[in-house]
Amino acid sequence: TAKTYGACASFSISLVANSSIDSPTMSVLSLAVVGKNNEPVFLKEFPKTEGRYVDDFAEEELFGLSFAIRSNEPCSVKHQFILQAALDRFEQVAGPPPGVGWRTPDVSGVDAMWVGMLLPVEEMRVYGYMSTTKIKFLAVVEDVIPPDQTAQNRKKESEIKNLLAQIHRLYVEYTLNPFNQIGDHKIVSKVFDVGVTNSVTEYNGKR
Amino acid sequence: MSKSTAATNGMALWQKMPKANAELFALTYGTLVTELLRDYETIAEINEQLDKMGYSIGVRCVDEFLAKADQANMLIAKCNNLAETAEVVAKTGFRMFLGIAVEIHATSESSFSLMMYENPLALFVELPDTQDKNWKDLKYSNLYCGILRGALEQVNLRVECKFVRDTLQGDDVNEIRVELKEVLQEGAGDDYQEE
């Protein structure tokens, strides 16, 4: 009985420890859509207002990085830096030869367009997704799963893949509007904006 | 012609018509409108052009409508008043060509309103928000007004149609107001005026 008690005790301890990681806050912090000539077509940040440490705030205020360049721009400078860095990595992985091929053979559809994690930055990770027409979708996601939790990591990646596929669908609907310019124009569309915000809020809300 | 007959006729004719891809249809119309935007200066001119195009479509549509109905052994009875005409147009005509349900509201001796809840021409369309043109005045689906005008003129009714509510402009339903101006006696066009 002592042994079983001991086992139960350790089991319950590990349960307690896991429950805090069980529902980690892996919210999407920003999203970018980049055209085939690497011009930014859509940038949006989804700042988290709760759960931030006081230290984080102070450091960002110091360099003014948390502010958007202009008050009407939807994405802060810090995230734009991160996205630019991720884009370089994207080029490496998915660009013309000698680009390292990322595509696993014999996959099609959403799986074929999923590039995967591009780079880790501070406590965030950037994931990428590229359509067949070389339109790139990037998501900066908060990273709180330790790397040894492979099952959770894989689950998270597939959820992000689905989110980016959803954004891709919204982008396709945007291009179907005859009034919208495709190419190197920024996306100015309420329907697209609302759709993206809803998708991300739904994803974040599930955490 | 009773209400249900018009509707059933409409459904039956719709089944027999060859179908086209809705997205292709909407995209084609969309490029047409954007081309017009490039060609003409003001929004009013574009609305007028769409009406003219609709007119030439309507003139041909009505013959097809009556011919197909004959082939299907349906009796499209002579309409005795404007309300019956409205029934046939909304329930049979629109259903046959576009597959959509259209309702009639606000009928009077000389006018009626057609309410369309879905608009196949405006699939995926969102009007831009820029300041350079007066987008609020653009009647994107003005083609319908021209079609109605052309079709009804072939059956001796001169009407004026206009869009009063448009889902693209933010309203919850599309409403076309049709007003009867004149019942043409001879049914002859302008070419025959001298005779």
Instruction: Please name every residue paired with B160 in a beta bridge, in sequence order, or none if there are none.
Output: B179
pLDDT digits over A171-205, tens only? 999 989 988 887 778 888 888 999 999 998 888 87
Best mutation target, B24, B34, B126, B168, to test chain A (most A CBs within 10 A): B126
Q: List the one residue out of B100, B104, B92 whose CA is nearest residue B13.
A: B92
d(CA A159, CA A167): 13
Are A32 and A126 within 8 A, CB to CB?
Answer: no
Contact: B126, A188; criterion CB under 8 Å: no
Contact: A189, B126; criterion CB under 8 Å: yes
DSSP symbols for A8-20: HHHHHHHHHHHHH
Q: Is A5 helix (H, G, I), strand (E, B) or coil?
A: helix
- Chain CA centroid to CA B25, Å: 16
Question: Interface pTM (ipTM) of the complex?
Answer: 0.76
Count of other CB atoms within 10 angstroms of residue A20: 9
Q: Does B23 touch chain A (CB under 8 A)?
A: yes
Q: Does B96 touch chain A (CB under 8 A)?
A: no
What does the pLDDT read at residue B186?
A: 63
Cβ contacts of residue B156 below 8 Å, gap of 6+? B183, B184, B185, B187
The pLDDT tens digits along chain B (195 residues) read 456 788 888 898 999 889 999 999 999 999 999 999 999 989 999 999 999 999 999 999 999 998 888 888 877 777 888 888 888 888 899 999 999 999 998 888 889 999 999 999 998 899 888 878 888 899 999 999 999 999 999 988 999 999 999 999 988 999 999 999 988 876 444 544 443
d(CA B97, CA B116): 14
Chain A residues inside the 8 Å CB shell of B33: 178
Q: List the one residue out of A95, A81, A70, A89 whose CA is nearest residue A40.
A: A81
What does the pLDDT read at residue A66?
A: 54
Residues of chain A with pLDDT below 70 are 1-25, 48-74, 95-108, 147, 206-207
Give the largest Cα separation in chain A, rounded. Answer: 75
What does the pLDDT read at residue A159?
A: 87
Q: Which residue has the tokens 């069980």?
A: A22
In B25-75, DSSP assigns E strands to none
d(CA A58, CA A47): 16
Q: How far is B133 from chain A (nearest CA, A)?
A: 13
Partner-chain residue, chosen from A173, A179, A189, that has the shortest CB–CB distance to B34:
A179
B36 exposure class (CB count in 10 Å sphere: 0-12, 13-18, 19+): middle
